[in-house]
Chain A
Amino acid sequence: MKRIVALILLFSLCLGLTGCYDKKEIDDLAYVLALGIDKGKTNTLKVTLQYAVPSKLGGGGGGLGGGGGGSQVTSIITVEANSITDALSMANNFLSRRLDLSHSEIAVFSEELAREGQIAPYMNLMNRSNEFRPSMTIAVSRGPAEDYLKGIKPVLDLVPSKYYELSSSSYKYTGLTINSQFLDFYSQLESNAIQPVAVLVAASKDKSSTDDQAGGSQKNDKSGGSTKEAQAQAPQQNEQPGASTAEAKGRSKPLGGDYLAGDIPKTGGGASEAEGLAVFDGPKMVGELDGEGAMDYLLATGAFHSANIPFQDPRNKELLVLLTVRQRQKPQRRVEISGGKPKIYLQIALEADILAIQSGYNYETPQNLPILEQASASYFQQTIQQFLSSTAQEAHADICGFGQEARGCFLTWKDWEDYKWLQQYKDATFDVSVSMTIRRPGLMLRSEPYTSSGGESQP
């Protein structure tokens, strides 16, 4: 027993001589919340870091001192360097605390870098290092990432980390963005069955909420769900926000999903927005999709939670029917290889609750309900079919990952590799069927007409 005590004491003495490594006091570190990576002018990269300044949060001395809006709690620095870690070292030449990346919520790459396929080298650092989380959001910004980060001034949240966490999960109830996590992005980069996507973000063009010019290229000619090579235009002064893709899709009024990030017509609420997604073929970005494309992507991959979607009323093209749509079950996906060409079957089952019928027509009866179901199902079917065709024919990128099901047609890995799915995808044909069931009408079972001096009118 004495020997054991002696051993332990000796060990502790030795430790006393060497000290504790790795002990980093919690307030000796500065926590980076967001990372922005642009193409640099004088060097390879321009890295923008947004880190938290906790002393502005208050909280010492037994009470919360006012922390002043979200913008004062963080601070942004920009460094030009040749790699991310080099940027951190250079930043620590003028910051006092050691920069720690273990709480970084989002990494934003600029569209320039993405289109040149320059993202891949930085993925290796992010995968290897223990500090980056697998659930970190990867985003592509239309315009410099620096502008996006500078535009983040959350009005509702004290700490921007909550802003990031909440907005990265907004896809669950809007259906206009996607869940783009680093782990998925990385494994999709390496996979020969699926190609990566990233959420699109941008700084708003809305002048009232930014201090400096929000750059952003204007995308005018976008067809619904289709992607083309976009011409990067020089940012113009006095941009008109609100350039939507609705006209190209043949709609008189744009729906919420008809915008890309940066084009949302709004004022106030912070100068950063997200909508749509960026399509990658390998490490190179080949196109963008607007909010509706994001919704199609979510539906096809089964990641759709719920969204409030407006449809044109079948009886009155001027008015809308609003439905809350959910997935009834995960989509059934099947791939057949016939004659060397893939044939893809997609069956989507949706259910919905009626939110509003603007015309007041009594769609709630069992006779009229199928009209609504039919109309909404065909709407979805059209848009998803168009979306899938464009990924195959224009982008040649299997972002929905049908290759994962296609693998089942082969026995060994070698056979699968030899088939070269990613190259064969462009000849794929799609067979999409959507079934919609409307479940509940909300609080109202029927609508009565409004009255006025002109008599009753169906509103």
Chain B
Amino acid sequence: MSGFFDTLKGWLLFAEPAPREQFILRENESEGDGSLKNSQPEGTTSSKKRRRQKGNGNDAGATQPISRRLADNLSAIKERFNVPTNSDVMIREFDIIVGKKAIAAFMIYYDGMVDRKVVNDDLLLPLMLLSNLDIKSDEARVPAYIRSHLLTHNQIKVVSALDQVVGEINFGGVGIFVDGMDSAFTADVKGFEHRTVERPNTEMVIRGPQEGFTETIRVNTALIRKRLKDEDLIVEDVLVGLRSKTPCAIMYIRDIANDSIVAEVRRRLKSIQSDYIHDSGEIEQFIEESTFLTSPHMVATERPDRVAALLTEGRVAVIVHGSPFALVMPTTAFELVHSPEDHYVRVPYANLLRAVRILAMTVALLLPGLYIAITNFHQGMLPTGLLLSIEAARERVPFPSLVEILIMEVSFELIREAGIRIPGTIGPTLGIIGALILGQAAVAASIVSPILIIVVAITGIGSFAIPNFSYAYSFRILRFGYIILGALAGFLGISLGLFLHGMTLVTSKSFGVPFMAPFAPRTAGDLGDVVFKEPIWKQERRPDYLEPKDEVRQPKISRGWIGQQDRGGDQHGE
């Protein structure tokens, strides 16, 4: 009883609010743990320089040579690969026996990207066990000897520049450094999973890669890494859950993503105190800001190509072991309506698809509410012929139209839910068809009018056309609110609903990014990919609201085959 009074008092009287720290996205300030901060400035510039050089084509004369001292190489490698933070880099140190001496060596590779059997049998085994070097102490011939006699792998390269080693390792190779040699060996031992992964179940595209995540975290990170062959792609391991100790990985690109977003994600993940975390859905609910808002604030996707594309824009991905869904944050309302196919398909089709999706969203949300509002309050709006035929159809129906539509909507939801449990892949299809047949029977029994079946069917189909299924759920819930509001006061109720819905969307934030950016607040930067898609060669900047470190994605003329002065267009330059 006293709890009830306390709640009532809490609502009516004013209590001073407890200050809560809101996460505000700062521009290009680096906050984070100390190690990153220290190495930040030079790392950024050197990686930028390196990137520019990388982009200038194959540069045989690379900058950083391999030193003879193993310790130097080791520290250089550790710095390049951010070894303590980057957890899937493996460094194996071993000794090669040469005569009586033991020459130290180490091997570096990405776990999950290499075939372990090959590494063990063909690289480590001969070097460690069979390496009875019986030579004169002629240093110059040691590399040749090792290469031609000891390393029993079919693709060995001897390189003398660190960059080349790094490049090989990034794509599933292994680098072997030996003390005293100013060159290193690289071997191609790719062993990451490919094509044993299946199609993604929830996001089907016609044109585009058909790989989806699996449940193993290393496989998933490798799927992304094989698309972004970038050593600045950081995979940070975090263990979540006190008993389950579920490995999660925070992935981001170091010189694009804003540090404060990364730090915030890290902070929230590390502060989860829970027993058992099994799925990325649970992680999502732990780290999101507003639990009761109907739209999601992170993109949950099953496609590695989508995650890779979003990472290059400056977002952060969280991969949870045991779940094929990766979470990408922050996101805005407009991204939830994008499908990966938009990028792979040509511009006219992509815009048609987007227009259809916008229509689908409107219909899924508003159509039943508008139908109720028009037929109960604004009958004058209908053309007379349509009005009379609707009325004729409703003659035998005993219920008021509000009850009718609620019956049909609820039955539709029941059928959808039941359809999930029908075994086999025909389940959902059967659900829809079953709904329509049920509707037809209901019409024949004069419980509902035929036009209502059409309304409900179109609404249901519209909600399926929304690419992000949790966003579609939000529309399914809010639809009922609009029906009630439409029945209360016609268009006035609908506009109240739109106003409140719009206000809550506009004030919500996803990891510091306002949910309706870039329209509100109106940030600088082009709107090239927000509602409708501009051609790909026009998208030069990364989204501004993410405050990335490097805003420019591609230069103004990104199609080299067009001359420098050309602005695009047809053969006459127009």
Contact = CB atoms under 8 A, between A and B. Distances in A.
Interface of A: 1-3, 6, 8, 15, 20, 22-27, 29, 31, 33, 52, 54-55, 57-62, 73, 100, 102-103, 105, 131, 133, 159, 161-162, 165
A101 to B, nearest CB: 9
A15 B488 contact: yes
A34 to B, nearest CB: 12
A20 B489 contact: yes
Given A15-B488, A23-B487, 19 more contacts: A3-B11, A22-B489, A23-B376, A24-B376, A33-B384, A52-B388, A59-B389, A59-B393, A59-B450, A60-B449, A61-B396, A61-B446, A62-B450, A103-B379, A103-B384, A105-B384, A159-B385, A159-B388, A162-B385
Given A60-B446, A61-B443, A31 B489 contact: no
B475 to A, nearest CB: 19
A23 to B, nearest CB: 5
Contacts of A59: 389, 392-393, 450
A368 B94 CA distance: 112
Interface in B1-26: 10-11
Contact of B444 (A29, A61, A159, A165): A61
A100 B382 CA distance: 14
A6 B384 contact: no
Looking at A8, A15, A23, A58, the one whose CB has the most chain B CB atoms below 10 A away is A23
B375 interface: yes
B282 to A, nearest CB: 22
B446 A161 contact: no
Given A26-B379, A62-B443, A62-B444, A2 B387 contact: no
B391 interface: yes
A159 B392 CA distance: 12
Contacts of A26: 375-376, 379, 387, 390-391, 394, 401
Given A60-B393, A62-B443, A31 B384 contact: yes
A20 B485 CA distance: 10
B380 interface: yes
Contacts of A55: 392, 395
A57 B376 contact: no
Contacts of B443: 61-62
Contacts of A1: 290, 292
A328 to B, nearest CB: 34
A25 B401 contact: yes
A54 B388 CA distance: 6
A29 B487 CA distance: 17
B381 to A, nearest CB: 9
A60 B396 contact: yes
A58 B450 CA distance: 12
Given A23-B376, A29-B379, A60 B385 contact: no
B106 interface: no
Nearest to B444: A62
A55 to B, nearest CB: 5
B146 to A, nearest CB: 67
Interface footprint category on B: 35 or more
B160 interface: no
Most buried by A among B384, B387, B390, B446: B384
B334 to A, nearest CB: 24
B241 interface: no
A57 B388 contact: yes
Contacts of B488: 15, 20
B450 A25 contact: no
A344 B443 CA distance: 66
Contact of B392 (A57, A102, A103): A57
A210 to B, nearest CB: 25
Main secondary structure of the interface of B (DSSP, over half): helix
B394 A27 contact: yes
A54 B391 contact: yes
A104 to B, nearest CB: 10
Contacts of A159: 384-385, 388
A12 to B, nearest CB: 8
Contacts of B11: 2-3, 6
Contact of B387 (A6, A8, A58, A103): A103
A36 to B, nearest CB: 18
Contact of A54 (B376, B395, B490, B500): B395
Nearest to A102: B380
B573 interface: no
Contacts of B392: 54-55, 57-60
Nearest to A52: B388
Interface string B486-503: 011110000000001000
Given A22-B490, A102-B379, A62 B440 contact: yes
Contacts of B393: 59-60
Contacts of B490: 22
A69 to B, nearest CB: 15
A59 B395 CA distance: 9
Contacts of A27: 391, 394-395
Contacts of B480: none
Contacts of B401: 25-26
Interface string B441-452: 001101001100
A60 B450 CA distance: 7
Interface in B428-482: 440, 443-444, 446, 449-450
Contacts of B560: none
B216 to A, nearest CB: 39
B400 interface: yes
Nearest 6 CB-CB pairs, A to B? Answer: A102-B380, A161-B384, A59-B392, A54-B392, A57-B392, A54-B391
30 contacts: A1-B290, A1-B292, A20-B488, A24-B377, A25-B401, A26-B375, A26-B376, A31-B379, A52-B388, A54-B392, A55-B392, A55-B395, A57-B392, A59-B450, A60-B392, A60-B395, A60-B397, A61-B396, A62-B440, A62-B444, A73-B388, A100-B379, A102-B379, A102-B380, A131-B380, A133-B380, A159-B388, A161-B388, A162-B384, A165-B384
